[in-house]
Structure 1
Amino acid sequence: MPAIVAVRGSADLNLLGKAVPGAAVHEIHTLEEADPEQARTADVLVLRSGVRLGAAQLPDWPALRHVIRAGSGLDGIDTSALAARGIALHRNTGPAAYAVAEWALVALLSLARRIPYGQAALAAGEHAKTACLTEPVSRMRLAIWGAGPVGRACGRLLRPHVRELAYAARPSVPAHLPQRPADTLPAWADSHLVALPLGPQTMRLFGGGFLSAARHRSPLLICVGRLGTLDLPACLEALACGDLSGLALDPIDQDDLALLPTGGPPLNLLATPHIGAQRTDVRSALDAWVASTAHRVLTPTGSQAR
């Protein structure tokens, strides 16, 4: 009997059970809290964002043959370790992209109109109307860092609202997209949207060097990728002193709460608990895809049957 283990929030257990009749389907909170017997016998592991799976964890999952990532991000997943064990990785990059782009548009408009600042000032007992006088978004230049599914969706949705848009030039950026050399963007753009994966080259990329180069434009900075691509303390300091005019952060997970400022003067800061893809249609599409993928890899009629 095949066994499927899903981290809470990564799958609809009822759909999984219907897709693979006879399978043992288990839900866990974290890999660390998994029942040892369930881990030992699992054929399929379904993950959401924020889960670490690599060489340190894999010995606890000796029967594992498939990892299904309900989304696109690979942060925390050691793909080399999976490949060395012959474990197939399945992920779906499509359904969430436009939902995240929708969040990015809300963030751009909110920061540009200084709505988070106005709200924070009111909560502190201040009426800061005059501090919320701004230039229109239609006069802004927008730089997008990252041209994966999310970055491209953001470009398509935000382009009609801004004056100019350019992607940070990289070999992987499709040739038809408008591009500028990355080192010229801090001096060019009024707003920056970060849609990069987290890796050695992108870790804290938006820190002291970027902030210094962009300071004279006092730009908006919007992160829809991974929080680790920002040097968050440096960005918050830049926001407080005016070197950034606005900061929007969606990928806030439970462990990141301590990084956010409490008290102090009002800031033009929008922070949300990783809700970019939290739409019912996206959730339904991903749940259906996870179930169909489990069916495909575990049933005799699937292309990778047991």
Structure 2
Amino acid sequence: MSEELTPVVVGLGPVDPALVTPFLGEGVQFVRDPSAGDLAVAQGAIVRAAYDVDRALLDRMPALRVVARTGVGVERVDVAAARERGIAVAVTPGSNARAVAEGAFAMLLALIKRVPESHRFVANGTWGIAPVPVPGDAHGTTLAVVGFGRIGRIIAGFATAFGMRVIVHDPFVQAEEFENVSLEQAVARADALTLHLPGGDGELLPRALLASARPGLVLVNCARAELVSTETIIWGLGAGRLAGVGLDVFASEPMRDHPLAHDPRVILSPHTTGLSQAALAATFQMAAEAVTETLAGRYPTFTVKVA
């Protein structure tokens, strides 16, 4: 009888072995930087969000049984091609929801209080020469939470604790404890607005809609870059509709030479709001457990369905 081969699991994108190997079980070999030979025999793959898993890559991995992707979006995974090959595609919902919510709300408060502008005002030696940037107030203002999933719910709780009025727009979910409004109402009534919807349907906040916002809106996008284009944001800042913008997602990543990089009203972060230490640990644990479930002949809990 032939000796059973050791199952190989590969990391696609930066994957810390220390965060996944404790949950892969005994007898599983994890390969951090896989060669072509490793890909050919890999039964499982733990895939970072920015890594493309297309049909060509799947062709190079004939033994693959499961793709466990960090995060919830699968726009970079050819799910249909995986399904044709009997490969499960698992995601890690909720593992970084609090981290994203904290990051988005931190951006929101920093922009309301004009922290970036105040820093540059002092650092550039303008203090005592020009009028100081006057901070705004969170208390008593209206926050529109667009997307009321795990992240949106946490942010709504933060906002309530700060004395903000919360209104919610979600095309699929009705909030029980907050006022539900249309997208048009959310934009028109908000003093601050934070986006937490998936992409895929084009620009959610085009210029025509943003034009209905009250002057001085603070906008944070930690969801998908396509929800509001850079061109729309530039127009909004120039027209005074936007007073501050926080972005953690970009059309091309890593982003270089962003046209708003030197605007003191803008905060840019390198798609890291969901990458706190605790969130990373939880995300990789969920991904590794999905691989373990599949290799044991079970179906991962959070598996993407194909219509």
TM over 0.5: yes
1:247 aligns with 2:252: no
For 1:35-75, what per-residue CA distance to the aligned partner results, in whole angstroms no more than 9, with x for missing partners? 32222222111112112223343222222210111222323
1:303 aligns with 2:304: no
Q: Match for residue 213 of structure 1?
A: 212
Change (3 A) 1:55 1:175: farther
Change (3 A) 1:19 1:65: closer
Describe the SS at the equivalent of 1:220. Answer: strand
Letter in 1 for 2:257: A
Q: Which moved more, 1:50-59 or 1:98-107?
A: 50-59
Gaps of 5+ in 1: 29-33
Q: CA deviation at 1:178?
A: 2.9
Q: CA deviation at 1:98?
A: 1.0
1:289 aligns with 2:256: no
Q: Match for residue 25 of structure 1?
A: 30
Q: Match for residue 47 of structure 2?
A: 47
Letter in 1 for 2:193: H
Gaps of 5+ in 2: 1-5, 301-307
1:8 aligns with 2:13: yes
Q: Match for residue 305 of structure 2?
A: none
Change (3 A) 1:105 1:123: same
- Of all paired residues, the percent bearing the same amino acid is 22
Q: CA deviation at 1:304?
A: 4.9
Q: Match for residue 133 of structure 1?
A: 134
Letter in 2 for 1:297: T
Q: Match for residue 187 of structure 2?
A: 186
Describe the SS at the equivalent of 1:259. Answer: coil
- Asked if 2 retains the 8 angstrom alpha-carbon contact of 1:12 and 1:287, the reply is no
Q: CA deviation at 1:88?
A: 1.0
Q: Which moved more, 1:69-78 or 1:107-116?
A: 69-78
Q: CA RMSD in A?
A: 2.6
Alignment partners' CA distance in 2, 1:80 and 1:21? 31
Q: Which residues in structure 2 correspond to 1:125-274 (within 5 Å)?
A: 125-127=125-127, 130-174=131-175, 177-199=178-200, 201=201, 203-214=202-213, 216-251=214-249, 254-263=253-262, 266-274=263-271
Q: CA deviation at 1:204?
A: 2.7
- Asked if 2 retains the 8 angstrom alpha-carbon contact of 1:66 and 1:88, the reply is yes
Change (3 A) 1:72 1:44: same
Alignment partners' CA distance in 2, 1:262 and 1:100? 21
- Asked if 2 retains the 8 angstrom alpha-carbon contact of 1:13 and 1:25, the reply is no
- Asked if 1 retains the 8 angstrom alpha-carbon contact of 2:96 and 2:282, the reply is no
Alignment partners' CA distance in 2, 1:171 and 1:280? 31
Q: CA deviation at 1:184?
A: 1.5
Q: Which residues in structure 2 correspond to 1:19-98 (within 5 Å)?
A: 19-28=24-33, 35-98=35-98
Describe the SS at the equivalent of 2:255. Answer: helix
Letter in 1 for 2:244: G
Q: CA deviation at 1:129?
A: 7.2
- Asked if 2 retains the 8 angstrom alpha-carbon contact of 1:70 and 1:286, the reply is yes
Q: Which residues in structure 2 correspond to 1:104-123 (within 5 Å)?
A: 104-123=104-123
Q: Which has the higher helix share?
A: 1
Describe the SS at the equivalent of 2:46. Answer: strand
- Asked if 1 retains the 8 angstrom alpha-carbon contact of 2:23 and 2:285, the reply is no
Letter in 1 for 2:230: L
- Asked if 2 retains the 8 angstrom alpha-carbon contact of 1:240 and 1:267, the reply is no
Letter in 2 for 1:256: M
Alignment partners' CA distance in 2, 1:289 and 1:171? 26
Alignment partners' CA distance in 2, 1:280 and 1:167? 29
- Asked if 1 retains the 8 angstrom alpha-carbon contact of 2:68 and 2:288, the reply is no
Count how many residue pairs are aligned between Structure 1 and Structure 2: 293
Alignment partners' CA distance in 1, 2:22 and 2:170? 45
Letter in 2 for 1:80: A
For 1:185-207, what per-residue CA distance to the aligned partner results, in whole angstroms no more than 9, with x for missing partners? 221111110112121x1x33223
Q: Match for residue 274 of structure 2?
A: 277
Change (3 A) 1:49 1:43: same
Alignment partners' CA distance in 2, 1:69 and 1:125? 47
